[in-house]
Amino acid sequence: MRRTLWVLGAVVACLGGVLFGSTNAEQATQLRVVNGLERYTIYYAYISPGDSRNWGDDKLGSGQTLSPGSSRTWSITAGTYDLRVKDQDDDTYSRYDVCIPRGMTVEWNVTLADLDSRSSSSSSSSATIRITNGLERYTIRYVYISPDASGSWGDDKLGSDVLIAGQSRSWTVDPGVYDLRVKDEDGDTYTRNDIRVGSGETYEWNVALSELDSR
């Protein structure tokens, strides 16, 4: 029977596996991440070898998310890893030096207690723009956040992701004045201009059908 260890206990297993008895080489070596964040969706998951200097690629894949209560399991090589997930507000949650023994499944139930702290200097020198899809039954496929002085909309901020009705996403920006635009699945656009967001502030835009741009 496959044994599942909590992440906090996994380090003990690595350092003294005899406490748990011998492992079965035929059993898979796995990491399971559970979204225990109550009302926040996980958009990105990173599994980085402990000796790596970067987080590497997102393990959830394009367009994949973990809604509250859901989980995802990966088969990996036994070893020590750093783990990180990022939610819809771009908040990160991390665990470091997590030992995953051979033939065992280690589970990380991500909770709000795992939220990474942000330095006061960082938060005071940046601002946040939060966009919510309030379009009832239409999906937002593109988001543009353009400095007011720019002559173009720039790149789509969603990338391969979308915002379904009721879903939100936040972006960290420099304090300043911005023009905002979203485009739905039908190619209709919704725009707000000359939006000023100050240092340490969050500007929230709940996009509504009443804001549909005229053609």
- Given a cut of 50, the residues of the chain with pLDDT beneath it are 1-13, 15-25, 119-123
What are the start and end residues of each CATH 2.60.40.2890 domain in the chain?
Answer: 120-210
Report, at the CATH architecture level, how domain 4-114 is classified: Sandwich (2.60)
Report, at the CATH architecture level, how domain 120-210 is classified: Sandwich (2.60)
- What pLDDT shows up at residue 183? 96
- What pLDDT shows up at residue 26? 59
- Three-state DSSP at 27 gives coil
- Helices and strands per DSSP (H, E), number in the chain: 2, 13
To the nearest whole number, what is the mean pLDDT of the chain?
A: 83
- What pLDDT shows up at residue 15? 42
What are the start and end residues of each CATH 2.60.40.780 domain in the chain?
Answer: 4-114
- In angstroms, the CA 172 to CA 162 distance is 18
E-assigned strands of the chain? Answer: 4-6, 30-35, 42-49, 71-75, 79-87, 92-100, 105-110, 127-133, 140-147, 168-173, 176-184, 189-197, 202-207
What's the predicted TM-score (pTM) here? 0.51
- Three-state DSSP at 208 gives coil
- What pLDDT shows up at residue 170? 87
